[in-house]
Amino acid sequence: MQSWKYTEDYHMNNFDYFKPKGIEAARELIVSIPNAAFVAGGTNLIDLWKYNLTNPSALIDLNHTGNNITVQEIDSGVRLSAFATNASTAYHPLIENRYPLLAKAILAGASGQIRNMATNGGNLLQRTRCYYFYDPDSPCNKRNPGSGCPAIDGYNRMHAILGTSKHCIAVFPSDMCVALAALDARVNIAGQKSSRCVPFTDFHRLPEDTPELDNTLGHGEIITSIDLPHKGFASNYSYLKIRDRNSYAFALVSVATGLELEGSIIKDARIALGGVAHKPWRIREAEDFLREKQATEKTFESAAAIILSGAQGFKFNKFKIELAKRAIVRNAAMALNPSIQKPGAQPS
Partner 1 sequence: MPRIQLNVNKRMYELEISPWVSLLDALRDRLNLTGTKKGCDHGQCGACTILCDGKRILSCMTLAIMKNGAEVVTIEGVSEGQKLHPLQQAFIDHDAFQCGYCTPGQICSAIGMLAEGKAKTREEVKDLMSGNLCRCGANIGIIDAIMEIHGGLSHE
The binding site for ligand FAD (CB under 6 A) comprises 37-45, 47, 62, 82, 109-110, 114, 117-119, 121-123, 125-126, 173-176, 222-223, 250
Is residue 151 within the footprint of ligand SF4 (CB under 6 A)?
yes
Query: 53 touches which of ligand FAD, partner 1, ligand SF4, none (CB within 5 to 8 A by kind)?
Result: none
**Contact of 121 with 85, CB cutoff 8 Å:** no
Edge-first strand listing for the sheet containing 222-229: 71-74, 77-81, 222-229, 186-190, 195-199
CB of 156 to ligand SF4, least distance (A): 8
Return the bridge partners of 37, or none. 59
Q: Toward partner 1, which CB reaches closer, 39 or 189? A: 39
Among 11, 24, 50, 229, binds partner 1 (CB under 8 A): 50
Query: 15 touches which of partner 1, ligand FAD, ligand SF4, none (CB within 5 to 8 A by kind)?
Result: partner 1
Interface of this chain with partner 1, residues 232 to 291, rule: CB under 8 A: 246-248
d(CA 123, CA 214): 13
Is residue 121 within the footprint of ligand SF4 (CB under 6 A)?
no
d(CA 321, CA 328): 11
**Contact of 216 with 203, CB cutoff 8 Å:** yes
Total residues contacting ligand SF4 (rule CB under 6 A)?
A: 14
The backbone region for 34, taken as left when phi is positive above 0, alpha when psi lies in -120 to 50, beta otherwise, is beta
CB of 124 to partner 1, least distance (A): 18
Query: 282 touches which of partner 1, ligand FAD, ligand SF4, none (CB within 5 to 8 A by kind)?
Result: none
d(CA 145, CA 310): 26
CB of 129 to ligand SF4, least distance (A): 9
Q: What beta strand segments (E) does 206-321 contain?
A: 222-229, 236-242, 253-262, 265-274, 281-282
Among 66, 100, 150, 163, binds ligand SF4 (CB under 6 A): 150
Write out the DSSP string of 34-97: TTEEEESS-TTHHHHHHTTS---SEEEE-TTTS---SEEEETTEEEEETTSBHHHHHTSHHHHH
CB of 234 to partner 1, least distance (A): 18
The backbone region for 299, taken as left when phi is positive above 0, alpha when psi lies in -120 to 50, beta otherwise, is alpha
Is residue 211 within the footprint of ligand SF4 (CB under 6 A)?
yes
Is residue 226 within the footprint of partner 1 (CB under 8 A)?
no
> What does residue 202 show for φ and ψ, rounded to 5 degrees?
-100, -5
Is residue 131 within the footprint of partner 1 (CB under 8 A)?
no
d(CA 34, CA 57): 7
CB of 171 to ligand FAD, least distance (A): 11
* Cβ partners under 8 Å of residue 125, min gap 6: 44, 214, 215, 217, 223
Q: Toward ligand FAD, which CB reaches closer, 42 or 347? A: 42
Query: 247 touches which of partner 1, ligand SF4, ligand FAD, none (CB within 5 to 8 A by kind)?
Result: partner 1
Residues 127-146, mask of contacts with ligand SF4 (x by CB under 6 A): -x-x-xx------xxx----
* Binding stretches for ligand SF4 (CB under 6 A): 128, 130, 132-133, 140-142, 149-151, 168-170, 211
* Binding stretches for partner 1 (CB under 8 A): 12, 14-17, 39, 41-43, 46-47, 50-51, 59, 61, 63, 87, 91, 110-114, 116-117, 246-248, 342-344
